[in-house]
């Protein structure tokens, strides 16, 4: 039998962190734990805050198909599009080869891939980068810059990121969110937030045109360093897109479950 311990941890970290961040966005958000499905849906224009994930461990093909159909129905009832997150290593062996077909049958389309990661890596050394100054997000101006970096990096309209983050008190206090600033202009960002005895890395982004300079790694290290200093935690988790995945093993993260993101076929939401 496969060891699914870290896949379960990865899924549960998503449900814990997204509960807090979605409710921070909207106290009346749809936050439910249904049989085999966790709903974390702010129904705002920032697609990452509209999330459904499957929570069964070892589901066979038939059960996974039913869960996907139910999840798609939940997504169709919403105003704004979002994603279904599917942790591959939670599926039973018999479901692995059938899940994409079952998703398509439910009206879902594959959007992009990612990877859950975790590591007992804290504390990290205090980071630096010769081209960057690190600024903690404490003002509305900082938060707007953080939102805009994410929108540009993932190919969303600027209004989407702003709808997800502007007005948040948590992002200016509870989240250890940092901007990496070059010549007075924010070019990269990362945050960490405490989640059930771990630091969770959230919304790492670098402005298009400034990738592959070590900026994302440096600002992620800064968010981890400050988060660990504040909490004393030693374990960290995250979910990386395919583009961002090469950064994190250099910090000490180890990949665990592949994560597959699906959108409703009629919405075709997909970050660049």
CA distance 60 to 41: 26
Are 68 and 103 in contact by the 8 Å Cβ rule? The answer is yes
Could you give the CA distance from residue 66 to residue 48 in angstroms, rounded to a whole number? 23
- CA-based nearest residue to 203, from 163, 159, 270, 153: 153
Model pLDDT, residue 23 = 97
pLDDT of residue 269: 59
- Cβ(155)–Cβ(168) below 8 Å: no
Q: Can you give the pLDDT at residue 268?
A: 54
pLDDT at 145: 98
Token pair 């990877």 is at which residue? 115
Q: Where are the domains of the chain?
A: 5-115+257-264, 133-234
Q: pLDDT tens digit string along 214-240?
A: 999 999 999 999 999 999 999 999 999
Q: Which tokens go with 159?
A: 């209004």
pLDDT below 70 — which residues of the chain?
1-2, 268-272
Q: What is the pLDDT of residue 184?
A: 97
State the Cα–Cα distance between residues 108 and 72, nearest whole angstrom. 7
Fold exhibited by the domain 133-234: Aminopeptidase (3.40.630)
Query: Could you tell me the two tokens for 93?
Result: 């062996």
Q: Are 116 and 259 in contact (CB under 8 A)?
A: yes
Sheet containing strand 199-206, strands side by side: 30-34, 37-41, 50-54, 83-87, 254-264, 108-119, 236-241, 199-206, 185-194, 176-182, 133-136
pLDDT at 266 (0 to 100): 78
In this structure, the number of other CB atoms found within 10 A of the CB of residue 60 comes to: 14
- What's the CA gap between 219 and 242, in Å, rounded? 18
pTM: 0.94
Handedness of CA 103, 105, 108, 109 (dihedral sign): positive
Question: Alpha-carbon distance 50 to 28, whole Å?
Answer: 13
């Amino acid at each position: 039998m496969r060891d699914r311990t870290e896949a379960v941890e990865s899924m549960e970290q998503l449900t814990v962190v997204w509960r807090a961040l979605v409710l921070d966005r909207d106290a009346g958000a749809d936050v439910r734990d249904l049989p085999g499905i966790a709903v974390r849906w702010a129904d705002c224009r920032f697609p990452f805050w509209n999330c459904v994930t499957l929570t069964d461990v070892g589901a066979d093909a038939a059960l996974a198909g039913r869960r996907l159909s139910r999840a798609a129905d939940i997504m169709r009832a919403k105003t704004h599009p979002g994603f279904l997150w599917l942790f591959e290593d939670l599926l039973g062996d018999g479901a692995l080869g059938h899940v994409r077909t079952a998703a398509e049958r439910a009206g879902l389309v594959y959007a992009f891939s990612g990877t859950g990661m975790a590591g007992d890596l804290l504390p990290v050394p205090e980071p630096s980068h010769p081209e960057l100054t690190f600024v903690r997000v404490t003002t509305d101006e900082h938060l707007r810059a953080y939102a805009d970096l994410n929108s540009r990096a993932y190919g969303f309209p600027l209004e989407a990121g702003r709808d997800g983050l502007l007005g948040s008190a948590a992002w200016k206090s509870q989240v250890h969110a940092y901007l990496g600033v070059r010549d007075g202009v924010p070019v990269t960002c990362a945050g960490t937030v405490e989640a059930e005895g771990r630091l969770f890395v959230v919304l790492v982004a670098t402005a298009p045109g400034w990738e592959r300079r070590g900026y994302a790694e440096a600002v992620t290290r800064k968010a981890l360093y400050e988060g660990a200093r504040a909490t004393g935690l030693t374990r960290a988790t995250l979910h990386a897109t395919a583009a961002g995945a090469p950064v994190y093993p250099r910090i000490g993260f180890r990949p665990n479950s592949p994560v597959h993101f699906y959108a409703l076929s009629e919405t075709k939401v997909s970050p660049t």
